[in-house]
């Protein structure tokens, strides 16, 4: 295998990767200048970019940290609003450290991957309580001291807030670098990950590392996109091997048509000559001409998410003045930790369904008489590793017809909330979809969520509701 040291003048890159996948010194200097010039002219006006020029170094790092955590797995357009609200409520690390987890979860509600908000909060507390309010000042110590901060986030904070010359690799960078150097092996494999980090560290600009890293990510987000890259508008077109390969193929095809081989169009060598290169497209996978540059990068096959079904009961109690809904807080660990949801029970048997009374019993509740009970259909929500189907049933009952076993359940984890309180509570997007299904089933004029995939299961009202004998203690009025 032909190998040499990765080029670049940063002095911090020692890994060897095959020559064909490297950037020469000249290419590194071209990529830096072209990308920074493009970034200066084209960068989007994003709120965290203004914060990143704050003269207070801790404040700068905090602002970058919040934005980077929110941007993990979430689109920029969605993050902007959350970011602005977050920074308004907790403008400093100290403000965040003095908040409660409940408030943080409420603020994060709808953004998904809830452990991110919790980790940010725990990190802020750690900085304030254990580090005298001083953020760790380089990538290694950020990585070491802050919960939820991985190699990427540490590199982003260090380069953007501290101007430390360190590269970073996220999904956008993987795509751009893989295309630039025709890296077609599984992008989640260790040799590819190592090579991408080596390239990112070699190519990052010494003078403007933060801007350079953002320019690489910006290019991936706006030009070198996953499905429809705009190569004609790309400042790195002349340095891009994936683009060169497509051009070579186009020239070959046109020569075949005209039967004229042009010397001017002589094919330059871009292919890797290394034997069994761990960065090249594997032999058993074919390069798809019609896919062009989107042949790169490639991901190994994802494991299919596991199927789960959960019975959910939206219990509405009518009080003399309002309607309230029972919600309960999930455990502090695991999926959607600490968030609130309607009483639910995981279904184990295939195709199993449960009457609402069985779901409620799990939560220490019995409805003696329901004025209305209605099947609200199924709501599907895809988590990263679970394909969850909620089988939703709505029950409406008078205040005096609901009995709660408050002594034998963890009462602090149960609350009755009005619609308004529900809308402000720390509940997941999935539970908001469930509530919409309930609202549209009980009040057909309510528009159902675009996001929710309701089945064609027609809501049916059960008019033969029978009173159930109570085995709970009578409700106290105290």
Binding site for ligand SF4 (CB under 6 A): 176, 179-180, 223-224, 229, 231, 234, 236-237, 240, 242-243, 293
Which C-beta is closer to ligand SF4: that of 143 or that of 200?
Answer: 200
Helix (H) or strand (E) holding 42: helix 25-42
Whole-angstrom distance, CA of residue 234 vs CA of residue 122 = 40
Whole-angstrom distance, CA of residue 42 vs CA of residue 330 = 44
Which C-beta is closer to ligand SF4: that of 147 or that of 226?
Answer: 226
Catalytic residue among 68, 341, 366, 404: 68
Residue 237: CB minimum distance to ligand SF4, A: 4
Whole-angstrom distance, CA of residue 38 vs CA of residue 221 = 14
Which C-beta is closer to ligand SF4: that of 185 or that of 367?
Answer: 185
> What DSSP designation does 401 have?
G
Helix (H) or strand (E) holding 210: helix 209-222
User: Which candidate, 297, 386, 230, places its Cα nearest to that of 21?
Assistant: 297
| Total residues belonging to the chain | 478
Phi, psi at 378, each rounded to 5°: -110, 145
Which C-beta is closer to ligand SF4: that of 184 or that of 229?
Answer: 229
Residue 383: CB minimum distance to ligand SF4, A: 31
Beta-strand relationship, 323-329 and 306-318? antiparallel
First to last CA, the chain: 80
Residue 223: CB minimum distance to ligand SF4, A: 5
To the query of whether residue 362 is one of the catalytic residues in this protein, the response is no
Residue 247: CB minimum distance to ligand SF4, A: 10
Which C-beta is closer to ligand SF4: that of 29 or that of 442?
Answer: 29
Residue 199: CB minimum distance to ligand SF4, A: 13
- Look at the block and give the residue holding tokens 């089988």: 391
Whole-angstrom distance, CA of residue 161 vs CA of residue 138 = 10
Give the catalytic positions in this structure: 68
């Amino acid at each position: 295998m032909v190998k040499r040291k990765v080029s670049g003048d940063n002095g911090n890159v020692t890994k060897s990767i095959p020559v064909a996948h490297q950037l020469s010194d000249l290419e590194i200097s071209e990529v830096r200048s072209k990308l920074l010039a493009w970034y200066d002219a084209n960068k989007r006006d994003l709120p965290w970019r203004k914060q990143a020029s704050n003269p207070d170094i801790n404040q700068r790092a905090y602002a970058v940290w919040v934005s980077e955590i929110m941007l993990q797995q979430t689109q920029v357009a969605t993050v902007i609003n959350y970011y602005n609200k977050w920074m308004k409520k907790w403008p400093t690390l100290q403000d965040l450290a003095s908040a409660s987890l409940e408030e943080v979860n409420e603020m994060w509600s709808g953004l998904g991957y809830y452990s991110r908000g919790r980790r940010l909060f725990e990190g802020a507390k750690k900085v304030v309580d254990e580090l005298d309010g001083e953020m760790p000042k380089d990538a290694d110590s950020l990585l070491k001291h802050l919960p939820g901060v991985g190699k990427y986030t540490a590199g982003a904070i260090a380069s953007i807030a501290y101007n430390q010359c360190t590269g970073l690799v996220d999904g956008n960078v993987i795509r751009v670098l893989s295309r630039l150097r025709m890296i077609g092996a599984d992008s989640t494999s260790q040799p590819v990950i190592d090579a991408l980090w080596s390239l990112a560290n070699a190519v990052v600009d010494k003078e403007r590392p933060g801007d350079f890293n953002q320019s690489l990510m910006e290019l991936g987000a706006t030009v070198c996109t996953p499905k429809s890259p705009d190569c004609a508008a790309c400042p790195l077109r002349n340095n891009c091997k994936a683009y060169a390969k497509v051009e070579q193929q186009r020239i070959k095809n046109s020569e075949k048509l005209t039967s004229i081989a042009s010397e001017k169009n002589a094919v330059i060598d871009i292919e890797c000559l290394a034997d069994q290169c761990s960065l090249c497209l594997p032999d058993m996978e074919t390069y798809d001409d019609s896919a062009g540059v989107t042949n790169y990068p490639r991901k190994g096959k994802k494991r299919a998410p596991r199927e789960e079904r959960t019975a959910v009961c939206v219990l509405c109690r009518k009080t003399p003045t309002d309607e309230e809904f029972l919600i309960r807080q999930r455990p502090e660990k695991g999926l959607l930790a600490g968030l609130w949801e309607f009483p639910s029970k995981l279904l184990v048997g295939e195709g199993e369904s449960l009457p609402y009374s069985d779901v409620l019993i799990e939560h220490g509740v019995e409805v003696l008489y329901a004025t209305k009970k209605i099947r609200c259909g199924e709501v599907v929500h895809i988590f990263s590793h679970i394909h969850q189907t909620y089988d939703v049933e709505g029950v409406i009952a008078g205040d005096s017809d609901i009995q709660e076993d408050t002594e034998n359940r963890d009462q602090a984890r149960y609350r009755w909330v009005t619609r308004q309180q529900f809308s402000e509570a720390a509940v997941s997007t999935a539970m908001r979809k469930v509530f919409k299904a309930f609202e549209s089933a009980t009040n057909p004029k309510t528009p159902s969520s675009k996001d929710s995939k309701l089945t064609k299961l027609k809501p049916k009202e059960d008019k033969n509701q029978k009173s159930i004998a109570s085995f709970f203690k009578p409700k106290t009025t105290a």
